[in-house]
Structure 1
Amino acid sequence: MLAKVCVFGFNRPHHAENLLRSLSACKLAEKTDVVFIVDGPRNKKESVLCLSTLDSTQSFERLFKSLTVIKRESNFGLAKSLVSGVSQVLNECEKVIVLEDDLVLTTDFLKYMNQALDYYKNNDEIGSISAFTTPIVGLDAESVYFHPRPTSWGWATWRDRWDKCDWSYSPSSLLEEIVFWFKSRKAGQDVYRMFKNNSKKKINSWAIMWTAYHITHDLKSVCPVTTRVRNNGFDSDATHCFGMNPFPSNFQAQTDLDTRFVREVLFDRKVIKQINYYHSNIFKFKNKLRLILK
């Protein structure tokens, strides 16, 4: 059985329409059940945009096995909306693919995600399936690798993993915090900083808590060497992403690879080093400098 797809939208109807068009062009789209959750508005201006986002779904109803649209009456915010929405879907099924409305997908996105979910469903070392990657040197384009950090740009998981996530996790002792800090370094230089900012309520991120769950339970995310998604959401009306997308990728919309999955779950230090460079302070500094000089 194919995984149900859960899409989260808000106040950007043009992005929602582009995503649904991209999703409907995927192989297996006509056999896939889709749930589209639209968050509620924060003000009168957003009321019009949220309604427009709802309207943008109508022309796609016949392109999937089913398309269920859920409208939030009030504004949940992304973190609450996503956690509650994914939990709602997983109450009815064993696995889910999760998308936000600013993504564009390759034509084999659903094929890759469903195959990965089936291949690793009984492997308790795997916490999630990721669809995005920055470029990797030294690995075959049709292969996968493992990373301790799950992506928030197109991902999937199973009910038994999701249900174990502690969304309010906080280290109970100094020793536990030191261990968490040490483990988090392998997931990226920015992870611990974001975790602390989330704890202090400077940010409100479901993704950093999902990452913390992977770290504290020694889980890995399965990542494709060839990305299956691109984020087009770095624009003026974004809620969380601004400017231009700093992360390079080898995205090509028309993609149909026969992915070779790896049964032995091992970290490749060279690969992790390549990925983590894009989450490092030096990359962040270079990107800011590039924007200033542009």
Structure 2
Amino acid sequence: MEDDCLPDVSFFGFCAELLEYYRNNKRIMHIGGANFQDGKVRGDGSYYFSTLAHIWGWATWKRAWEKFDVDLLSFTERLKQDTLGVFPSLAMKRFWINKFNLAYKKAIDTWDIQWQYAVSTNNGLAIIPNRNLVSNIGFHRNATHTVSMYNLLANIPTFFINELTHPSSIAPDFHADVYSFKKYFSPTKMRKLFNILSVWLKNKIGQKLS
């Protein structure tokens, strides 16, 4: 949990229960607390499975973290063999190859891309709650990474999750992943402009009502 992430209290019980429930399922590598689906419920459970490891509040197991390699030593060989993982779309594949390459070349100072690499290259899955459990309150111009105050992911409301309903099947929801990717990870120029205007308008309305 990073210092700019504010969890709902139920996030901790959510992680604790699922850490035990999937302790021996090696394909499940990540339990996240953030949900970027804008209220859309995915699947038939309290959470769904994703190829994306959101890191605003998360948990994992020793067995999974042992696959983490900050230097991405296998990147060039995996790139040649096309064994970097299964991606829901060609655009997502290109996006992550570029990110992995930047991390491999030390062109960016980060660790979360290396963790995504570990999940992707091991055909791993991340658990995403169907209600957002963690809000990032650290979007401001002096932040290390989240410098845009007009980001739609800033200060997303959190919700309480009580008793969990487990999904009936274990498979990544590619529709959910593509939705997150197109809107938040790699939006078009028009989408970026729309996102900025949406946040600006929301802030203006909030100021008038306060």
Give the TM-score of the pair, scaled to structure 1: 0.58
**Residue matched to 2:40:** 137
Q: Does 1:112 align with 2:14?
A: yes
Post-superposition offset of 1:284: 6.2
In the TM superposition, what is the alpha-carbon distance from 1:183 to its structure 2 partner?
Answer: 3.0
5+ residue gaps, structure 2? 201-210
CA RMSD in angstroms comes to 2.9
**Which residue identity lines up with residue 76 of structure 2 in the other structure?**
P
Aligned equivalent of 1:247: 153
In structure 1, C-alpha distance between the alignment counterparts of 2:15 and 2:142, rounded to whole Å = 29
- The residue number in structure 2 matching 1:151 is 54
- Displacement of 1:140 in angstroms is 6.7
Letter in 2 for 1:154: G
* Alignment match, 1:233: 138
Q: Which residue of 1 aligns with 2:164?
A: 259
Contact 1:230-1:251 at 8 Å conserved across structures: yes
Identity value in percent: 23
CA contact (8 A) 2:45 2:168 kept: no
The Cα offsets for residues 40-78 of structure 1, whole Å up to 9 and x where unpaired, read as xxxxxxxxxxxxxxxxxxxxxxxxxxxxxxxxxxxxxxx
Number of residue equivalences? 193
**Residue 221 of structure 1 pairs with residue 126 of structure 2:** yes
Q: Which moved more, 1:236-245 or 1:262-271?
A: 262-271
SS at match of 1:278: helix
SS at the partner of 1:171?
Answer: helix
Aligned to 2:27: 125
User: Distance in 1 between the 2:129 and 2:100 partners?
Assistant: 25
Distance 1:163 1:266, change over 3 A: same
- Cα 1:162–1:284 change in 2 (3 A) is farther
Asked if the contact 1:142/1:226 (under 8 Å) is kept, the reply is: no
Q: Quickly say closer, same or farther: Cα 1:113–1:246, change in 2 above 3 A.
A: same
Gap change, CA 1:263 and 1:140, over 3 Å in 2: closer
- Aligned equivalents of 2:189 and 2:154: distance in 1? 13
Which stretches in structure 1 are left out of the alignment for 5+ residues?
A: 1-98
- Which structure shows the higher strand fraction? 1
Cα distance in 2 between the residues matched to 1:173 and 1:158? 24
Shift of 1:267: 1.9
Check whether the contact 1:188–1:280 (CA below 8 A) recurs between aligned residues: no
Give the alignment of 1:1-294 within 5 angstroms. 99-135=1-37, 136-139=39-42, 143-169=46-72, 170-172=75-77, 174-176=79-81, 178-180=82-84, 183-184=86-87, 188=92, 190-244=95-149, 245-247=151-153, 251-252=157-158, 255-262=160-167, 264-283=169-188, 286-288=191-193, 290-291=195-196
**Structure 1 residues 234, 174: CA separation in 2 closer, same or farther (over 3 Å shift)?**
closer
**TM-score scaled by structure 2?**
0.78
Larger Rg: 1
* Greater RCO (Cα-Cα under 8 Å, separation 6 or more): 2
* Contact 2:88–2:178 (Cα < 8 Å) also in 1: no
